[in-house]
Amino acid sequence: MADGRMTARDYAKAYRDGERTPEDVVEAAIAAVRLSGQQAQPLDAFVLLDEDDVRKQAAQSARRFEQGSPKSVLDGVPVAVKDEFDIAGFPTTAGTCFRGNKIAREDSAIVERLREAGAIIFGKTAMHEIGFGGTGINPKHITARNPHDLSRAPGGSSSGSAAAVAAGVCPIAVGSDAGGSVRIPSAFCGIYGIKPTYGRIPTAGGALLAWSLDHIGPLAASIDDLAVFYDLTAGAHPRDEETHGQPEPEPVGELDPPEPTELRIAWTPEMGEDAEAPVKHAFLNAIGALRRAGAVVEERKVPHIHQAQRVGYVTMAAEAAGTQRDWLRQHRDEYNWDTRLLLAVGERISTQEYLHAQRVRTVVVDEFAKVFDDYDFFITPTTGMVAPEITQGAMETGEVNSRINAYVSRYTFLGNISGYPSVSIPCGVDAKGLPVGLMIYAAPWKEKALLNAAAAIDALVDGVPRPPVFFEV
Q: What's the gap between Cα 426 and its chain centre?
A: 13
**Is residue 131 a contact partner of residue 94, using CB atoms and an 8 Å limit?**
yes
**Position 391: which residue type?**
T
| Ordered domains of the chain (ranges, CATH) | 8-458 (3.90.1300.10)
Closest CA to 266 of 173, 183, 381, 374: 374
**Would you state the pLDDT for residue 421?**
99
Give helix 351-374 / helix 308-323 axis angle, nearest 10°: 130
Interval 167-222: pLDDT, tens = 999 999 999 999 999 999 999 999 999 999 999 999 999 999 999 999 999 999 99
Distance of CA 76 to the CA centre of its chain: 22
Residues assigned a catalytic role: 82, 157, 181
Mean pLDDT in residue range 32-56 = 98
Q: What is the structure's pLDDT at 424?
A: 99
- Tens digit of each residue's pLDDT (9 = 90 or more) over 237-281: 999 999 999 999 999 999 999 999 999 999 999 999 999 999 999
The CA-CA-CA angle for residues 424, 229, 22, to 5°, reads 120
Q: Report residue 4's pLDDT band, with 50, 70 and 90 as the boundaries.
A: confident
CB 135 within 8 A of CB 128: yes
Torsion of CA 263, 268, 269, 273, to 10 degrees: -80
What does the radius of gyration of the chain's CA atoms come to, in whole angstroms?
Answer: 20
How high is the pLDDT of residue 1? 44
Closest CA to 296 of 259, 262, 257: 262
Look at residues 31, 44, 54, 224 and name the one whose alpha carbon lies nearest to residue 123: 54
